A and B are shown apart, each in its own frame.
Chain A
Amino acid sequence: MPVADEVKSSWADEVEEVVEDIPQSNEVFENGFKIVTEYRRNEDDKKEKIVRTYKIEKRCVSKPIALRKTWAKYGVAAGDKPGPNPANTVVGEDVFMQFITSKEEQDKPDEDVLDKLKSMADKTVKCRTCNGDHWTLKCPFKDTGYIPNKAPATPATEEKRPTQVEDKTKSKYIAPGLREGGGKRGETMSRRHDDSSAAAIRVSNLSESTQEADLEELVKPFGDYNKLFLAKDKSTGLCKGFAYIHFKSRSAAAAAIATLNGHGYDHLILNADWSKPQHNN
């Protein structure tokens, strides 16, 4: 029935069929090889030809296996042609078994340790007993009880004791609040911010096309300002609809608010108010 045939494929497939003039895929059997040629369009809309070559092997197997090979496919595979269906069976990339020999594993850490010791030997080998440039273990004074530098040091420590008390204040950790000049309060970021933002106002409901120059023109009559910030969209560069103006004096800011709040500008009614301090955590 012609009608049923038309309805059978989904609309998405139909569109593809109409647009693409891709040759049909075909299979060729050639002296022991099956060559499947497929055409498709890749992401760049270029035609691709995929040629898969399968080697056909004959194997001698036991009867039951041979019998099983003749079974008809069933389930979702019922419609598949003989041979693997490329949609389900993919030959993966070459992988190799990484052999780990136990010898390699044992050798490696040994080398590392030796290297480390060598490099250390170059720099500083210091005996803990006599400060000579050899390992403590190999010290000639080891087990003799004689310690060349330390012997006279014992009485010296006793003399030092009173001075140590004085030094205590220096060497010991002192809390920041107790340090010299610790009485005064530290500056905080928020306080500084408060100072500058005391005369800051926020103007909102600006039109998209507002430029910094327009804003400058708008606020100049009220007095000098320190900083003018017009919020713009990062990607489009258009005004986001609000701006901050930091006036030099609070009175100028107050005057600006009084005038600009409710002022019609570029067919929009502006809102102006004191800028609220930012609430950072």
Chain B
Amino acid sequence: MKPLMLHGHERAITQIKYNREGDLLFSSAKDHCPNVWYSLNGERLGNFIGHIGAVWCLDINWESTKFMSGAADNTLKLWDCSNGVEIGNINTKSTVRTCVFSYSGNLAAYSTDTQRKQICEINVIDCRISDSFGSEPILCIPVPESKVTALFWGPLDEMVVTGHENGKITQWDMRTGKQLNQIDGHSGSINDMQPSKEGMMFITASSDHTSKLFDTEQLLNLKTYVTERPVNSASISPILDHVVLGGGQEASVVTTTSTRVGKFDARFYHMVFEEEFGRVKGHFGPINSLAFHPDGRSYASGGEDGYVRVHYFDPSYFEFTFDC
């Protein structure tokens, strides 16, 4: 497969995401402008200019009309996806670490960092009221123990599941703002959580060198994928029983080792047998974010090297059968 290398960022990629249909690919980096690309040919549709800090998170709503990005300049911005115009801005008390639209796209949840005496908060806003972008959130949950590093909406927008810096995974009831359940998911920071296509399972990626598959309802640990490097991102294939893990060494120790030892490959595991069956090389730095195309026939990865690589799978990937 010939990957498309999208070079629209000056600095390390922080997150990439496809829209629901998968025709658009969004990428954010530590530079200040998130980009949007046509995933089919890698053509850049545009970028969103307005942030003045590293952009840590992004999300796109169900209809691909609104795009949301949270940054280290203490703002969460809402954009019109069709023309790149800023249509909303929320000033937060600290860096916005995660932001996710609910499935309906009516609500959005975002979390802020523990920073300068400011404790981490999970906030929920209603996107339908354009005025609420800028006013108080409709729900605010302070999280004093450990900051939220990953977040996604549970089924029917009834709850939000958060991953924390101390490895805990928590469910929050969105009606009451109460904590429903909490487990010790990992021993290291949770860097990423991505739900499966149906939303009934999710995969975590952690600095403790493992990635785990959990049941969304009860937070049961179903599977564990073990690697020898910190895992920065993981994604579940929507069509096959595959998961892809991306990671590598800490960015701080990369320069002291060659790319060969760096283990910057995307690693494909069988979801059920927990065994690795394939690797794809390419990045010069650790992979920070991974996403499967919603049709499962391609995937994209964004790395510390500032490149987004879009891979269309060869027929051999689909012909491959896992012998056990």
- B145 interface residue per 8 A CB criterion: no
Q: Is B324 within 8 A of A89, CB to CB?
A: no
The minimal Cβ–Cβ distance linking B3 to chain A, given in whole angstroms, is 4
Q: Is A75 within 8 A of B23, CB to CB?
A: no
Contact residues in A for B24 (Cβ distance below 8 Å):
68
Known: A64-B64, A84-B42. A97 touches B317 (CB 8 A): yes
- B4 interface residue per 8 A CB criterion: yes
Q: Is B43 within 8 A of A97, CB to CB?
A: no
Q: Is A97 within 8 A of B8, CB to CB?
A: no
- B156 interface residue per 8 A CB criterion: no
Report the number of A-B residue pairs with Cβ-Cβ less than 8 Å.
Answer: 124
Contact residues in B for A96 (Cβ distance below 8 Å):
1, 280, 314
Cβ contact of B43, chosen from A72, A89, A92, A100, cutoff 8 A? A89
Q: Is B83 within 8 A of A71, CB to CB?
A: yes
The minimal Cβ–Cβ distance linking A108 to chain B, given in whole angstroms, is 15
| Number of interface residues, chain B, beta carbon within 8 A | 50
The minimal Cβ–Cβ distance linking B304 to chain A, given in whole angstroms, is 17
Q: Is B6 within 8 A of A88, CB to CB?
A: yes
Q: Is A71 within 8 A of B282, CB to CB?
A: no
The minimal Cβ–Cβ distance linking B160 to chain A, given in whole angstroms, is 27
- A94 interface residue per 8 A CB criterion: yes
- B137 interface residue per 8 A CB criterion: no
The minimal Cβ–Cβ distance linking B279 to chain A, given in whole angstroms, is 5
Contact residues in B for A75 (Cβ distance below 8 Å):
33, 35, 46-49, 84
The minimal Cβ–Cβ distance linking B215 to chain A, given in whole angstroms, is 26
A interface majority secondary structure: loop
Known: A83-B41, A94-B1. A72 touches B314 (CB 8 A): no
- B7 interface residue per 8 A CB criterion: yes
Q: Is B278 within 8 A of A95, CB to CB?
A: no
Q: Is B46 within 8 A of A97, CB to CB?
A: no
Q: Is B278 within 8 A of A74, CB to CB?
A: no
Q: Is B64 within 8 A of A103, CB to CB?
A: no
- A98 interface residue per 8 A CB criterion: yes
Contact residues in B for A102 (Cβ distance below 8 Å):
273, 275, 277, 322-324
Known: A68-B23, A90-B7, A103-B323. A97 touches B33 (CB 8 A): no
Return the CB mask of B241-269 against A: 1 if under 8 Å, else 0: 00000000000000000000000000010
A-B contact pairs, 22 of them (CB 8 A): A69-B38, A74-B45, A74-B47, A75-B35, A75-B46, A75-B49, A76-B33, A78-B46, A80-B44, A85-B43, A88-B6, A89-B7, A91-B4, A92-B5, A92-B282, A96-B314, A97-B280, A97-B313, A100-B276, A100-B277, A100-B278, A102-B322
- 18 A-B pairs besides A72-B83, A75-B49, A100-B277 with CB distance below 8 A are A64-B63, A65-B21, A68-B24, A71-B83, A75-B46, A76-B47, A77-B44, A78-B46, A80-B43, A85-B44, A89-B4, A89-B5, A89-B37, A97-B280, A97-B317, A100-B276, A102-B323, A103-B323
| Residues of B participating in the A interface, judged by any CB pair closer than 8 Å | 1-8, 21, 23-24, 33, 35, 37-38, 40-49, 63-64, 82-84, 268, 273, 275-282, 309, 311, 313-314, 316-317, 320, 322-324
| Residues of A participating in the B interface, judged by any CB pair closer than 8 Å | 59, 61-62, 64-65, 68-69, 71-78, 80, 83-85, 87-103
